Amino acid sequence: MDWLERTAKLRQWTRSGTRAPHKPLLLLYALGRFQQDAADELRYSAVEEDLQRLLTEYGPPNRTTPAYPFHHLVSDGVWEVRTDHGPGSPGSGVLELRAAGAAGRLAPELQAALRREPELLGRMARILLDLHFPPSLHGDLREAVGLELEPAETGQLSAVVRRRRDPRMRERVLTAYEYRCAFCGYDGRIGAVPVGLEAAHVRWWAFDGPDDVDNGLCLCSLHHKLFDKGVLGVGEGHRVLVSQRFVGHSPAAREHVISLADRPLIGPQPGAHPVAAIHRSWHTSQVFHGSPRPATAA
């Protein structure tokens, strides 16, 4: 049984690039718990809050429930559910799962494989991260689910992930934006080497975002993370979106985030392709959280 192939081919609801990371997040959480103490069962009522927190932070903008993946992951052969009354899930309803005392666990065959091949856990986790989330979130997500991976497991993409990134994208995007953050203008260097500047995919690579300049932004490390978390976005007229859900009272939060609302992007230079509308729209619908703030008073 090829557990890596099963991991790469989790059945998910999808349409036109819609994000549905519910099953990957549950499986990452279960792998983290297994690595920590090989816990046999995860009672829904005990882990519901943890799973909801993961969905809120790393899932799509629309509200959703962990009951859905808890029930439906069974169909992928990596997970099983039983209740106080015996094997089988009572359904995908929150109240049903709570009332029945539903508990889930990794499939016994998978648990046996993980004990035989300890490196399998890291490979499965790497596939889930690479296929469903941008690299800027991998470290935070591993920490959130309690996964500790060996350096070799956090380096190269798994062989199951066939598509390869274009290593030239970073240089092309940074050149197009003249080595300045498109949101704040930061352009720090040590000697001739830029520091703290990164090439961000607007439409995530994991969701068929191309390694093209018109799908990229040169962003400082802070704004790249906030962009991938849905705090920041790019709206009509290539102006910065700042989520109304973002809360920050410090001068730093106001200066570096809130004051960006409705500012025009800095760059790209003449002749370089700006962010394509199709990629902007994907990010706004699948990553950006809530409604944008109006421009702040000068």
Q: Spell out the per-residue pLDDT of the chain, length 298, in tens.
A: 699 999 999 986 666 678 888 999 999 999 999 998 766 789 999 999 999 999 998 988 887 889 999 999 999 999 999 999 999 999 999 999 999 999 999 999 999 999 999 899 999 999 999 999 999 999 999 999 999 887 655 444 455 555 677 888 999 999 999 999 999 999 999 998 999 999 999 999 888 899 999 999 999 999 999 999 999 999 999 999 999 999 999 999 999 999 999 999 999 999 999 999 999 999 999 999 999 999 876 5
Do the Cβ atoms of 234 and 289 come closer than 8 Å? no
Paired strand residues for 43 = 103
Do the Cβ atoms of 156 and 136 come closer than 8 Å? no
Instruction: For residue 141, give both structure tokens.
Output: 């997500």
Do the Cβ atoms of 246 and 167 come closer than 8 Å? no
Q: Judge if pTM exceeds 0.85.
A: no
In the Cβ-directed half-sphere of 11, how many Cα atoms lie within 13 Å?
A: 10
* Number of Cβ within a 10 Å radius of residue 210: 16
What amino acid is encoded at 230 in this protein?
Answer: G
Sign of CA dihedral 94, 98, 99, 100: positive
Backbone phi, psi, residue 23, to 5°: -65, -45
SS3 category, 122: helix
d(CA 32, CA 36): 6
Domain residue ranges of the chain, discontinuous segments joined by +? 3-145, 167-287
List the CATH code of the domain at 3-145.
1.10.10
SS3 category, 67: helix
> Cβ neighbours of residue 118 under 8 Å, at least 6 residues apart?
none
Q: Which residues of 147-166 are buried (b: 16+ CB within 10 A; e: fewer)?
A: bebeeebbeeebebbeeeee
